Structure 1
């Protein structure tokens, strides 16, 4: 049964109140839940609750709302005894500029769309300030990341099933939404051998691409930084499946990103230790051989289809990475004025929101470009655009600084991988891909762990815990609250 707008709003209001209340009870579990929902929301939108696709889209955001309220307005004692050294003035200036030059732009013509535009830019930034306090110590950090990485196995197995099922299979579909419209499933390959470009548990191809890249980074860094039998799960499970899924997406960005990450991490491992495990370069070489061998044997058709797409595509990988962003931002710079066309006006969902709420069109239609950097320039105008990408640069530099300053540890290994992730996404999607937005802010927050400072000093000697290359003082009051 198709729900009306009023029914959806009433259901959404009730659900929001309940979810926010539950999230406020334990903000750490709420953050964990939001990160898991980000992996599964596409499956819910496509197969479980398609008539409420818009409500599911905001599910993780509502969970984070409750966590934000608890963390920032009613912090626990263990939160108040820590300080995170971040350039708060600069981040506040970026936010204010986005409000004044983006959200208050009269061309938008709707307060609802202005708020939505701010949401797609700023909503996940507070998450970064919470992530450093999610972990008790390095062992706890390793356990949480390893458990989270195991989601790669069922999601990638679903991707394999989608690849062999064919484009017309019910498991190969996109999330239907009045906000984004219905889209035809994309295929790649030649003639009758054409295969569906897989989406896994995500609504669209872009979300699955981000998942494959990020979980390949997590799995590879854990493999290099961990000791014990759990490495075998990563070696024979996660890494081959993620590499196979990269080919099955038909995305050159994803495949070449994985190869580039493996090369960078491998070169770094050969020159210096990134994790506590010994002989990391040998492990890296073994992992690459196993992963490549597994993909060649079990996903040969995916490689053939990928090669066909790579040869028949109308552009090149280098063009999409370098030329397209440069062309887009140059064209947008000529079309935009000081204020831009308004924040969020080029987002695909805004047209559906206008139609659903019967809002008038903007006075000037925002042009569309085949690159997010051009879209941001067109939406924000010069001042806000420059500050936004200065903020993106700061995120990247924070990740790099965390890697450089940390001793061999799981933290250092992951900081290197997350630096690669931010570098790859610098000219790619963030605000136009909510999955990328969430994980970029979360990984940036992880790399802020060295910036934690204890504000509690007791006369008696406290037990010192070495966490991710940073010495943290664990106070007795923190034991029960965690």
Structure 2
């Protein structure tokens, strides 16, 4: 039975109240749940509840709303005991600039859509301030990340099934939505060997590309910290499947990103210690060998189809690296003034919201450039555009400092990997890819751990931090801020 718009909105409102209340009861579990939903929401939209695709799209956002309310408005004493050293004034200026030059644009013609545009850009930023307080110590952090990394195995196995199932299979479909519209499944390869470009449990290819890169970073960095069976599971499970899935997406950017990240982590490990586990460099090299062999033996058809796409593509490395971005910026610069066309006006869901709620069409259509940098400039105008990418660069710098000023540990390995992710994603989709958006903010927040300061001075004889927590605190403490004693949450 297909629900009407009013019925879905009523159902969604009731469900949102319940979810927000549950999230407020335990904000940490709510954050964990939101990050898991980010991996699975596409599958729910495609196969479980397609008629309510719009509601599922906002599911993780509603969970995070409850966590935000609890964390920022009703913080527990252990939250108030910590301070995060970040450039709050600059971040506030970014938000104000996007509101004034992007949202307060008369071209949008709707307060609701102006708020939605701000949500697209800024909604996951508060998540970054919560991530440093998710972990009790380094051991707890490592355990949670390892358990989270295991989602790669079932998701990648689904991707393998999608690749061999063929483009017409029911498991190869995108999330159909009245908001975003229906898209044909993309294919690659040639002749009888044409294959669907896989999406895994995500709505579209872009989300799966982000998943492959982020989980490859987590898995390869865990190799520098874990030993025994867990290390073998990463070595023979996660890494080959993730690399194989990268080829199955048909995305040259995904494959290049995995190779670049793996090479950089390996080279850094060769010249300096990034992790504390024994034989980190040896296992990193073995990881590349196993992943490459896995592709050559088990996923050769994926490699062949990828090679067809690479050789027949109509663009060049230089074009994808910077020429397309420069062309989009030049084209957008000819169309916009200080205000641009309005924040979020080119987002696919914005048109659907206008149709669903019968909101008047936009006054001036925002041009589409198939490039996020040009798209952001067209939406925001020059002042907000400059502030937005200055904010992105600030995130990148924080990740690099977390790596460069930290002692060898799992934290240092991950900070290096997340720096690579932010660098590679700087010119790729974030605003138009909500999966990339939430992972960018979450990984930035992870790299803010060394910037935590404990405001509580413990009295003699009071309960002290246990020895293993103290060790984790020292491992995540930067040389730059050691005098101020930042730490993982005690």
Q: Fold match, TM over 0.5?
A: yes
- The alignment status of 1:430 with 2:442, answered yes or no, reads no
Structure 1 residue 70: deviation in Å? 0.1
State whether structure 2 residue 245 is matched by structure 1 residue 245: yes
* Residues in 2 aligned to 1:321 and 1:144: alpha-carbon distance in whole angstroms: 35
Could you tell me how far apart the structure 1 residues matched to 2:228 and 2:347 are?
46
Shift of 1:465: 4.3
Displacement of 1:285 in angstroms is: 1.0
Structure 1 residue 45 corresponds to structure 2 residue 27: no
1:472, CA displacement in angstroms? 5.6
2:274·2:412 contact (CA, 8 Å) conserved in 1? yes
Is contact 2:24-2:70 (8 Å) kept? yes
- Please give the residue correspondences for 1:60-99 in structure 2 after superposition, counting only pairs within 5 Å: 60-99=60-99
Do the aligned residues in 1 keep the contact of 2:261 with 2:417 (CA within 8 Å)?
yes
When normalised by structure 1's length, the TM-score is 0.97
Counterpart of 1:469 in structure 2 is 476
Cα contact 2:449–2:476 (8 A) shared by 1: no
> Whole-Å Cα distance in 1 between the matches of residues 337 and 408 of structure 2?
48
- 1:389-428 counterparts in 2 under 5 A? 389-428=389-428
Residue equivalent to 1:198:
198
Conservation of the 8 A alpha-carbon contact between 2:451 and 2:486: no
The 1:443–1:174 alpha-carbon spacing in structure 2 relative to 1, beyond 3 Å, is same
Matched, 1:322 2:329: no
Structure 2 partner of 1:177: 177
Please give the root-mean-square deviation of Cα atoms over the aligned residues, in Å.
1.2
State the partner residue of 2:333. Answer: 333
Question: Do 1:465 and 1:473's aligned partners in 2 also have CA atoms closer than 8 Å?
Answer: no
Alignment partner of 1:300 is 2:300:
yes
Give the Cα–Cα distance (whole angstroms) in 2 for the partners of residues 473 and 384 of structure 1: 34
Task: Give the whole-Å Cα distance in 1 for the aligned partners of 2:209 and 2:343.
Answer: 25
Deviation at 1:334, TM superposition (A): 1.4
Q: Distance in 1 between matches of 2:423 and 2:65?
A: 28
Matched, 1:388 2:388: yes
Q: Structure 1: which 5+ residue stretches go unaligned?
A: none
1:277 and 1:378 mapped to 2: Cα distance?
A: 48
Determine if contact 1:166/1:196 at 8 Å carries over to the other structure. yes
Tell me which moved more, 307-316 or 61-70: 307-316
Structure 2 length normalisation: TM-score? 0.96
- How far 1:312 moved relative to its partner? 1.0
Once residues 474 and 34 of structure 1 are traced to their aligned partners in structure 2, the CA distance between those partners, rounded to angstroms, is 22
Whether contact under 8 Å (2:160, 2:245) holds in the other structure is yes
For the pair 1:231 / 2:231, whether they are aligned, the reply is yes
Q: Kindly indicate whether the alpha-carbon contact (under 8 Å) linking 2:452 and 2:487 is maintained by their aligned counterparts in 1.
A: no
Classify the secondary structure of the residue corresponding to 1:225.
coil
| C-alpha contact (below 8 Å) 1:465/1:474 kept by paired residues | no
Q: Give the equivalent residue in structure 1 for 2:141.
A: 141
Partners of 2:487 and 2:282 in 1: CA distance: 36
Q: Secondary structure at the match of 1:90?
A: helix
Query: Which stretches in structure 2 are left out of the alignment for 5+ residues?
Result: 478-484
Shift of 1:15: 0.5
Moved over 3 A (4+): 471-475
Q: Secondary structure at the match of 1:131?
A: helix
* Residue equivalent to 2:354: 354
After superposition, the C-alpha distances for 1:418-475 in whole angstroms (9 at most, x for unaligned) are 0000000001111110000000000000000000000100222633342342266799
* SS of corresponding position for 2:453: strand
When structure 1 is superposed on structure 2, of 307-316 and 274-283 the one drifting more is: 274-283
